[in-house]
Structure 1
């Protein structure tokens, strides 16, 4: 297999790669350690921390429970997190409520208890969206069967539906079989091989515990990227630059097992500060230019569970037409019209409203919000789309936002762009 000569994901730092466990000296003094080494040691302390029983977490007040009742979280003070939102809840109840409130990324379900660890926030959304764009850009020129799909904040279930989590964003190679031998949900979908978690409100010990106990459990995810956005007191330097600490932790199950680390106690293989201050609030300029640091995600981790050989990266030349041809051929052989999908971002989700469009075809519409997925519609390559020519001519092709797979029998659309709601009214 040809190894990548460039990383899939890049963030910025000038600090040498001293973040791996073997590179730290226990005898080194705090004054001689780099900012990254200090962050790594802090992470190890957090992994060893005992989070205690969930029953000692504060209960939500009646006012705070409005998030569960009607989807309103404005009454919750971030300083009170974590909170026990509800108890004695079935998984089906949790699934329904979290979907209506679009709160799966901020709630966690464990043995009938729903806990709030995070609140929606612009910084949180921007962080995982930027990561998704950077990560998926590495696969732009791959053929469809070698591509990686952005699964977004898809709900993944633990054993016996006793626990449920949503990553902020996640990625699944198209090669993985469905149904999977190790499914992540009742539909048989595989676990994402790469996960990104953003922690703003939630503590470092908790996000690391979730990484180890849930995402990196056997037969689940392979790599987890944790972006910790530390609290910011709105301070700026004399040049107006925000003084804020930002830290990236990259976990790799494969590398941790090879290093002899115990399951459930995996340490990050890369730890980097990429803010403007370090752990001790000292000024830090390790992230002053692009490309000064790279977080590497190996192809064998991205394609874990797939049959080798893995596609080489990067590819030379533009293979977009080849990819479209492969999609079309696959569509004809299976009787399914696949559309080429580019995941852009996911912010919010609202109740779906079915809209009868044509005999044996159905579109599902959302009542508002922002776009979740962008589909480039290659109608010249996929003859099955001709029947929908009137619809395609009504709008700019590059402006449409849809959900995922389209079949010849049912077309499911989660339309989260207000500019297209008018078409919903005409149906």
Structure 2
């Protein structure tokens, strides 16, 4: 069973990834989202693992792999395209464990981005405008071919000290907004060995767009949902 704040973060992330599909029915949206779909582990040991949250392309733009699971191209255990963006949210899980799982996903080249969010233990202080119990949080983004990025947010630092004026204190602060290219979702290289040729990509306006995740929104929904 998952905690209230864990699921609140997943829901908030879902809103960010649905932002570019507002006029589509769920089954027709170019950007598909699922919670905890099983995939074969990139470790190649035959294990099945599931992310907290997966983003993958609709079959209109990236067809189901012509070679049955596990492909090529790679698929989830149901034969759908392998997730292109993965999100993992950790509470009881340690930062080291979260990092290991995120880096494991990155061993699969079709996974273009992995976002890991760590929610540290709740404190007993209430030094925030909402009067909620303080909490430190951290986000880490891995992208293929790009240096890892980190954001420390929350209402206190990990050691319980105040975050001060440079902390995550309001919405739309560029220092606390994560961006991920929408084009990551539609990554679909040719596979000459099986004569696989990708379909035409989605409209340019979609391919040039970005997902934006405002960590202040994540922070606020965590404070709202956690133990009082």
Q: Give yes or no for TM over 0.5.
A: yes
TM-score by length of 1: 0.39
Residue in structure 1 matching 2:63, options 170, 173, 177: 177
SS of residue matched to 1:138? coil
How far apart, CA to CA, are the structure 2 residues paired with 1:238 and 1:290? 15
Helix, strand or coil: the match of 2:146?
A: helix
Q: 1:290 aligns with which of 141, 153, 171?
A: 171
Gap regions ≥5 residues in structure 1: 1-118, 257-267, 316-427
Is the Cα–Cα contact under 8 Å of residues 152 and 169 in structure 1 kept in the other structure? yes
Question: Is 1:120 the counterpart of 2:11 in the alignment?
Answer: no
1:274 aligns with 2:153: yes
Q: Could you tell me whether the CA contact under 8 Å between 1:197 and 1:227 is conserved in 2?
A: yes
The structural deviation recorded for 1:255 is: 2.0
SS in structure 2 opposite 1:167? coil
Alignment of 1:393-408 (within 5 A): none
Which has more strand, going by share of residues?
2
Closer, same or farther in 2 for the Cα pair 1:137/1:228, shift >3 Å? same
User: Is 2:83 the counterpart of 1:192?
Assistant: yes
Q: CA RMSD in A?
A: 2.7
Report deviation, 1:187.
3.3
* Cα drift, residue 145 of structure 1: 6.9
Aligned 8 A contact 1:192 1:220 in 2? yes
Say how many residue pairs are matched.
184
The match for 2:217 is: none
Matched, 1:222 2:106: no
The 1-side partners of 2:128 and 2:79 are apart by 54
Q: What residue is the counterpart of 1:204 in the other structure?
A: 95
Counterpart position of 2:17? 135
Distance (whole Å) between structure 2 residues aligned to residue 289 and residue 182 of structure 1: 42
Given candidates 125, 131, 147, the residue that maps to 1:235 is 125
How big is each residue's C-alpha offset from its partner over 1:374-403, in whole Å with a ceiling of 9 and x where there is no partner? xxxxxxxxxxxxxxxxxxxxxxxxxxxxxx
Q: Deviations over 1:327-379 (max 9, x none)?
A: xxxxxxxxxxxxxxxxxxxxxxxxxxxxxxxxxxxxxxxxxxxxxxxxxxxxx
Q: Quote the residue 1:151 is aligned against.
A: 34
In 1, Cα distance between equivalents of 2:38 and 2:128? 44
Stretches of structure 2 lacking an aligned partner (at least 5 in a row): 66-70, 189-197, 208-228
